[in-house]
Chains A and B, each alone.
Chain A
Amino acid sequence: MDFSFVKDYYMFFINGAKITILLAIFTIIFGVILGVLFALMRISRNPVLKGIAAVYIEFIRGTPIMVQLFIFYYGLSFVGITFPDISVLGSNLNDLMAGIVALSINSAAYVAEIVRAGIQAIDKGQMEAARSLGLNYTISMKTIILPQAIKNILPALGNEFIAIIKESSIVSIIGIHELMYSNSTVRGITFRPFEPLIITAMVYFAITFTLSTLVRAFERRLQTVD
C-alpha cells in the first residue's frame, strides 16, 4: 500500500469533508423541522393532515433514495425552481440544493416516525392532566409532552443523523464535490483505486464518531437533569 499521494491531494479530502458536513448540517436542520411537523400531522385528529403525512412517510420509506435524488435533481428545474449559478466550495449551487432537498425530504420521513414513536410512548395521562388544567393542545404539547418525548427520541435521532452523513455519499452521482466525489477524483488522478477509499472511510468515521460522541454526551446531560 502506498499512501504517498496523501501529501499532494489531502486538500481534496478536506474540501470533500467540508461539503459532506455542510450537507449534513442542512439536512439535519430541515429534516428535523419537517420530521416534527409530519409527526404532529400523523398523530393529529384531522384526517386530511393525517392522510397526507401517512402517504408521505410510506412513499419516502418505500422508494430508493437514489430515485428520490434524481427526481429532485431533474424535478426542481423542471418545475422552474432554479438557484443562482454560483459555486459553493467547488459545487454548483443548483446541484447542492437538489442534494439538500432530496436528503432532507428523505430524512424527514424517518425523523417523523422516530418523533411519533417518542411522543406516543408518553403516558396519555400526561396530556389529560395538562388539558384538565385548562392548557390548550399546543401548550400541553410544548411544555409537557415534547420535553419528555425528547429523551425517548434522542438516541434514535442520533442514529438517524449518522445515517444522514453516510447516505449523503450518494449525492456524488449528481456531481456534488463531497467526500465520496473527492475519493473518485483522487482515484482518477493517482490511478490507485484502493488506498483513497481507506482515507475516505477514515474521514467518514471521524465525522460520525464525533457526532455520536456529542449525542451521547447530550443524552447524559438530559439524564442528570431529572
Chain B
Amino acid sequence: MIKVTDLHKNFGKLHVLKGIDLNIDKGEVVVIIGPSGSGKSTVLRCLNRLEEADKGQILFKDISVTDDKNDINVIRQDMGMVFQNFNLFPHMTVLENVTLAPTRLNMMKEKEAKDKGLKLLKRVGLGDKANNYPNQLSGGQKQRVAIARALAMSPDLMLFDEPTSALDPEMVGEVLEVMKQLAADGMTMVIVTHEMNFAKEVADRVLFIDDGIILEEAPPEELFNNPKNPRTKDFLRRVII
C-alpha cells in the first residue's frame, strides 16, 4: 500500500527525519510512538505531502507521492487524515463538513453524498448531530466527525496524527472505539499516538521513532514486553502504561 524509502526532512537547519524506510501492507494497522520532537508527526505529514520531503521517495499504491508530475490532489483523495485539533470547518454543519469533499470533487451527487454522510455519521454514533455546527459538539464528538469526514472520500489509507491528544480524558475512549471499529473493518491505518494500551490492542506493528530514525519496529507484544533498543526501553519506562 505504501512504501517509503530513505525519507529526509529538514526544517531550516534542523534535520528532523534522517532516513526513514517503511513498508505498509493493505489492511495493516501501524502505530508510531516516540518522544515529542522525534519526527513521528512529520513522517505522517510527509505521507500525504502536507510537508515536502527533502530527499527520498514515497510510493502510494505504486504512484509516487513526491513526484511533481503526479497530481497530489488526486493522490490525497485516497488518503484520509485526522488531525490532533480536529480542524472541522466551523462555518459548516456537521453534515456539510462530511459531504463537502465528495460533492466539490464531483464524486457524488448532493443526495447520494448526503445519504452516505448520514450513514457515516451514524457509524461514528453522531447521526443525531448532522445539522449541528461544530462549536456545539464536545471534543470527542468533533474528532468522530473528523473521522467521518475523512471516510466520506472512501480512502484506502487513513492517517491519524495524535487524534486523542487534545481531548479531555473522558472523551478519549469514544474516539478510540471508532478507530478500533475501523481497524476491525480492515482499514489500512497509520496512527501517531501516545495511547500505549490502544497500540497494544489494535496495532499489527509498532514503530519507535527517536531523533528522526526508526529505532525499533515489532509487533506490539514484542515491542512493549521485550524492547531491544535501550532508548526504546528508556522511553517505555517513562511512559506510564
Shortest beta-carbon distance, A135 to chain B, in Å? 6
CB of A134 within 8 A of CB of B76, answer yes
B198: Cβ under 8 A from any A Cβ: no
A126–B89 Cα gap in the complex (Å)?
A: 7
Given A128-B50, A143-B100, A226-B133, A134:B105 Cβ within 8 A: yes
Instruction: Report B-chain residues with C-beta under 8 Å of the C-beta of A125.
Output: 83, 85, 87
B237: Cβ under 8 A from any A Cβ: no
Instruction: Report B-chain residues with C-beta under 8 Å of the C-beta of A148.
Output: 90-91
B164: Cβ under 8 A from any A Cβ: no
A217: Cβ under 8 A from any B Cβ: no
Instruction: Report A-chain residues with C-beta under 8 Å of the C-beta of B79.
Output: 132
CB of B81 within 8 A of CB of A135, answer no
Instruction: Report B-chain residues with C-beta under 8 Å of the C-beta of A136.
Output: 73
Q: Name the residue of chain B whose CB is nearest to the CB of A151.
A: B91
B135: Cβ under 8 A from any A Cβ: yes
Q: Name the residue of chain B whose CB is nearest to the CB of A139.
A: B104
Give 28 A-B contacts (CB < 8 Å), ordered by A residue: A123-B85, A126-B87, A128-B83, A129-B83, A129-B88, A129-B146, A130-B89, A131-B50, A132-B76, A132-B79, A132-B81, A132-B150, A133-B77, A133-B80, A133-B101, A133-B150, A133-B153, A134-B77, A134-B101, A134-B153, A135-B73, A139-B104, A143-B100, A143-B104, A148-B90, A226-B91, A226-B133, A226-B135
Q: Which residues of A contact B (CB under 8 A)?
A: 123, 125-126, 128-136, 139, 143-144, 147-148, 225-226
Q: A132-B50, A132-B76, A132-B150 are in contact. List 14 more A-B contacts (CB 8 A).
A: A128-B83, A129-B81, A129-B146, A130-B89, A133-B77, A133-B153, A134-B74, A134-B75, A135-B105, A136-B73, A143-B104, A148-B90, A225-B91, A226-B135
